[in-house]
Amino acid sequence: MIYLDHNATTPLDPEVLEAMRPYWLTPGNAESRHSAGRAARRAWEQAKESVAAILGAEPGEVIFTSGGTEANNLAAFGLAGAEHSPGHVVSSPIEHPAIGEPVARLEVAGFAVDRPNVSREGVADAGAMAATFRDDTRFATLMLANNETGALQPVAQLAELARERRIPVHTDAVQAVGRVAVNFRALGVATLAASAHKFHGPVGVGLLLVRSGVRLGSRLFGGGQQQGRRAGTIAVPLAVGLASALERWHAAAAERETRWTALRDRLEAGLAHALGPDRVVRNGPADAALRLPQTVNLGFPGLDGDALLMQLDLAGVAASLGAACASGSTRPSPTLVAMHVPDDRLRSSVRFSLGATTTSAEVEAALPRIVAAVEQVTEAAGSA
């Protein structure tokens, strides 16, 4: 199997597993006052310090969560103050379900929601989003990098415009952290979500950065851990794993970005050469610098995406049609719909995404398999 679906999840780095191992095998609740508890507390604090240093935050601004979904939900409902009277929210129409669904729930509860259009390349317009701000706007949300197309979004620009109105901005950075440099302070946002399993860390742990001074209502109540914002026993091994994975990305960031960009471009160019520009079309920004270095979304006009994905799987290539969290849906991708992608490729677009383990040899081996899969599906459609 040639695994080209790292935006869905990445394999755990064996060295990250080793970093976590001692904390799985020894007791110690980080809230306990004995030596075992103090050791767990030190490991947790060190994980916070490491994460904060890499992401441009303060250790006290780091909240560990069960993943990106929980982090996004904490931010959305916490910033909205959903327990109070409804207000107004501004969102892009290309958000991942982990933020899109909470915003939709707020809308059902009586919140007004504006979702200004994005460009045909899938990039939000910060000015258009800011133009919808109202006196009762509770927060605005814009992802840092789109999970399907890899399109980088103008989050810092939106945060600057929102600052004038004292409106907090949340960014879902799940697909950006561990792929490109992310600086919480420089972005100017109030909250930022990330998830370890997107950068070769363990499944089941993520983080929410909350800028000092930002009021964020809690959704979990219990022991008051993590400043009362996320109650529950701290999963020290998972926090250590997240920090270790982020440290390993940070140490190799420049090399990975250069290699990923070359492999991504080789994959796209190789398919375009073999199939022709009319049979494979990129969805996303034309400027490669405005996309994640390891993500490419390609439309194969006229083909059935589900049939193509099945054929790719039979050929030993793992890819996806879009967000893995919504893969069971028969609806076309909301991101591609928002981009006004033509009908002939709306349901035939495939996302290929690379990871730290992807090699040049794998990309070269994948190219003829993908081409053969496209030809087989095309032939089957023609004879139907």
| Distance from C-alpha of 263 to C-alpha of 9, rounded to nearest angstrom | 19
Residue type, 30: A
Q: Which among 215, 209, 160 is positioned nearest to 182, based on CA atoms?
A: 209
Distance of CA 193 to the CA centre of its chain: 8
Q: How many Å is the maximal CA-CA distance in the chain?
A: 72
3-class SS at 112? strand
Buried b (16+ CB within 10 A) or exposed e, 196-214: bbbbbbbbbbbbbbbbeeb
Selected catalytic residue, list 156, 325, 326, 372: 325
Q: What is the dihedral of CA 23, 27, 28, 29, to 10 degrees?
A: 100
**Cβ-contact 293, 179 below 8 angstroms:** yes
| Distance from C-alpha of 382 to C-alpha of 313, rounded to nearest angstrom | 21
Which residues on neighbouring strands pair with residue 209, listed in sequence order? 62, 192
Q: Tell me whether residue 250 is one of the annotated catalytic residues.
A: no
How many Cβ atoms are within 10 Å of 368's Cβ, its own excluded?
Answer: 12
| Distance from C-alpha of 239 to C-alpha of 345, rounded to nearest angstrom | 41
Sequence-ordered list of residues with C-beta below 8 angstroms from that of 219, at least 6 positions apart, any chain? 73, 74, 77, 78
Residues with catalytic function: 325
